Amino acid sequence: MNDEQFMKLALKLAAKGRGFASPNPMVGAVIVKKGRIIGQGWHQCCGENHAEVNAIQNATENVAGSTFYVTLEPCCHSGKTPPCTDLIIRKKIKRVVIGTTDSNPLVSCRGINSLQAAGIEVKTGVLEDRCRSLNEVFFHFMETGLPFVTVKYAQTLDGRIATATGQSQWISSPASLKFAHQLRAEHDAILVGIGTVLKDNPSLTVRRVRGRNPLRVVVDGGLALTTRFNVMQDLSRTPTLIATTKNASDPAFQKLVSAGAELVSVRSNKKNHVNLKQLLHHLAARNISSVLIEGGSQIITSALKDNLVNRLVTIIAPKILGKGIEAVGNLNIRDLKEAKILSLKSVAKKGTDLIMDYRLML
Amino acid sequence: MNDEQFMKLALKLAAKGRGFASPNPMVGAVIVKKGRIIGQGWHQCCGENHAEVNAIQNATENVAGSTFYVTLEPCCHSGKTPPCTDLIIRKKIKRVVIGTTDSNPLVSCRGINSLQAAGIEVKTGVLEDRCRSLNEVFFHFMETGLPFVTVKYAQTLDGRIATATGQSQWISSPASLKFAHQLRAEHDAILVGIGTVLKDNPSLTVRRVRGRNPLRVVVDGGLALTTRFNVMQDLSRTPTLIATTKNASDPAFQKLVSAGAELVSVRSNKKNHVNLKQLLHHLAARNISSVLIEGGSQIITSALKDNLVNRLVTIIAPKILGKGIEAVGNLNIRDLKEAKILSLKSVAKKGTDLIMDYRLML
């Protein structure tokens, strides 16, 4: 096996942290001595051991003189855990092979430098694209200071998310539903507009799969939300944040706060709507690195228009509706050249549906 | 190799006739003696030898005592060529394995009966679904008396075929364009509305691939077409039929006829539009077994509303336009249960586009 093959294994291990490592990156590590794998580890959960530490702890023999494969540059600073570079040096690792450097300004290339200064041979950029892609959320968050935003909706082939009368439940198949819950579990927050809450009364929790409940965020400029809705239940275990243009002097504001929700007043734009970008900055400050927008059409359209969307997951049901409510409304695009350009990452069949996973080319 | 494997080979041969056999079915034949393939053939072109004749003519040794694999029940009537059952009997074939029976009322099971009456062992229904699916056009034409209708368009992910200002050229990628011409070559006729002619001035001919030009059909209720458009060029080699609600007493009618086009007056429906179903019956009477509808939105919507569409090929470009001209207009569907249901046959990447191939569940 060569460097790329060991890195592939490290990538596989890293991915086991999906939905748990956040807002930390997913990282995998493999230790190889004389061609044999003697240790493996990954970052299992934010606040717990880094992948490097787990791999060394799990090693079946002395790691001195070994080659260490790790998908992301090892940290050289003390956070919740001590620096991994120190451990690697102390354990007399001979060679370190790194997938990609870290964007975190506390680490960026300093991890590599300190390893090299200690006389360790370092190779970087092995399967770099895949290592970066695995942690696209983390890198985006580090590099822009904004959460990585995924928009997800189910549409008919002709781009409808509901009939003209607003009927939308079960456009997609039961098989897609499980996927939708998996997607929730992989995000730090889930965001919907008040329209969706009033119409569908969703719980916005993770069911059907194992995983953490994301923070629930409701965009509700005028505070139409009341305590009887599902997003206002079980707040101690699953917090809900309400973004509004009202302030604390409003009685509705006080009522929702008393019921246990968290409210945030976000500078409104000219239409007296909640300013989504401001809201995302607020979420970033709370260490929310990823947000899943599940609708409705108005929020999706605003997020696209403001270039806040990084990923678009569209479930296409094998149906045609003709006139109806469209997924994406007016983006003020007059010329084909101004169209939002996507890059197809994957397409997969789920039951009778197709799940298309795109990235926005910003 | 077993019966299914030989039938798979016969299916592969049959498919070589795509775009040339029509309105005849595509048929492939394989002759096997003592486990060795001694003859292969397919129906190459309408009016020429049937697959059975070609396989026997190509045989490398005496076919007496052999097993004969054929994707479709051999014919037992004299058309442009003599009955294949007679030839099979005369050549002393021992066993005949058939993919599917023929829907043609002149054949339907009579071919099998005459083989059995001659003492030949007959097995039917080997890879029947695939053999039927290969000739879905032929079977539909035989069983309903109407051409098999394919609707093809390129849309953005959000279901737009043009910007709000009507800009539509190059929504899809160059790689998809070759596919679009291949699709033309596989149909007997290509149909568009006059709006598409006036806006894009297409030639509606097969380029970029080898193949026959389909009959060009323009739906033009009010006869807005003039001789300066591309569909009115080269009429001697590539005929154009214009379906209108006007009749021969109209001067525009006479002008187009004089220029070499063929005009047909089709009973109009209440909106004074050309009645598509009537037009399809007219085309069927001319032995047009398949029609490719390339737009625009109005024709596509009418055809879907009238349940005349069998296949839907949608090219999805990785773009989002928001408001714009939609592929499918008002179908008068008020309830999700009334949605047109599709069945996904295949999805393929072509350049940056996705080509989704659906069948309508009628």
3-state secondary structure of A4: helix
Q: What is the ipTM of this complex?
A: 0.86
Work out the mean pLDDT of chain B and round it to a whole number: 93
3-state secondary structure of A358: strand
State whether B352 and A343 contact (CB < 8 Å): yes
Per the listing, tokens 């009477």 go with: B285
Q: Which amino acid is at A95?
A: R
The residues of A that are catalytic are 52
- What sign does the CA torsion over B265, B313, B350, A358 have? positive
B341 contact residues in A (CB cutoff 8 A):
318-319
Question: Given A168, A318, A343, which is nearest B343 (Cβ)?
Answer: A318
pLDDT at B269: 63
pLDDT at A270: 65
* pLDDT tens-digit map of B218-241: 999 999 999 999 999 999 999 999
Question: Given B156, B305, B354, which is nearest A344 (Cβ)?
Answer: B354
Q: Who's near A185: CB < 8 A, 6+ residues apart?
A: A19, A206, A209, A210, A211, A212, A214
Q: Is the pLDDT of residue B71 over 90?
A: yes
pLDDT at B270: 66
A304 contact residues in B (CB cutoff 8 A):
320, 322
First to last CA, chain A: 38
pLDDT at A358: 97
User: Residue B285 class from Cβ within 10 Å (0-12 exposed, 13-18 middle, 19+ buried)?
Assistant: exposed
A305 contact residues in B (CB cutoff 8 A):
322
If one counts every other C-beta atom within 10 angstroms of the C-beta of residue A220, the result is: 24
* pLDDT tens-digit map of B296-332: 899 999 999 999 999 999 999 999 999 989 889 999 9
How far apart are alpha carbons B171 and A336 in whole angstroms?
8
pLDDT at B321: 93
3-state secondary structure B33-77: ECCEEEEEEECCCCCCCCHHHHHHHCCCCCCCCCEEEEEECCCCC
What is the β-pairing status of strands A121-124 and A160-162? unpaired
Residue length of chain B: 362
Nearest chain B residue (CA) to A344:
B318
pLDDT at A273: 82
Q: Is the pLDDT of residue B211 over 70?
A: yes
B52 part of the active site? yes
How far apart are alpha carbons A350 and A353 in whole angstroms?
5
Task: Spot the catalytic one: B48, B52, B143, B338.
Answer: B52
What is the β-pairing status of strands B262-265 and B325-326? unpaired
Cis check for the bond before B296: say yes or no (omega within 30 of 0): yes
| Mutation site for A-interface testing, chosen from B336, B347, B360 by largest number of A Cβ within 10 Å | B336
What is the β-pairing status of strands B189-193 and B215-219? parallel
The separation between CA B228 and the C-alpha centre of its own chain, rounded to angstroms, equals 29
Q: Is the pLDDT of residue B271 over 70?
A: no
Interior angle at CA A229, CA A227 and CA A231, nearest 5: 95
Give the helix ranges, DSSP H, for chain B. Answer: 3-14, 51-57, 84-90, 110-117, 128-134, 136-144, 174-185, 194-200, 251-258, 276-285, 297-305
How far apart are alpha carbons A139 and B224 in whole angstroms?
57
If one counts every other C-beta atom within 10 angstroms of the C-beta of residue B89, the result is: 18
B81: tokens are 């060529």
How far apart are alpha carbons B199 and B180 in whole angstroms?
19
Give the helix ranges, DSSP H, for chain A. Answer: 3-14, 51-57, 84-90, 110-117, 128-134, 136-144, 174-185, 194-200, 251-258, 276-285, 297-305
With b for 16 or more beta-carbon neighbours within 10 A and e for fewer, the A223-243 pattern comes to bebeeebebbeeeeebbbbbb
Percent of chain B at pLDDT > 70 equals 99
Question: Given B332, B335, B358, which is nearest A167 (Cβ)?
Answer: B335
State whether B163 and A358 contact (CB < 8 Å): no
pLDDT along chain A (362 residues), means of 10: 95 95 94 96 92 95 96 87 90 96 81 93 96 95 96 94 81 86 96 95 94 96 96 97 94 96 84 88 96 94 96 96 91 91 94 95 82
State whether A312 and B320 contact (CB < 8 Å): yes
User: How confident is residue B76, by pLDDT bands cut at 50, 70 and 90?
Assistant: confident
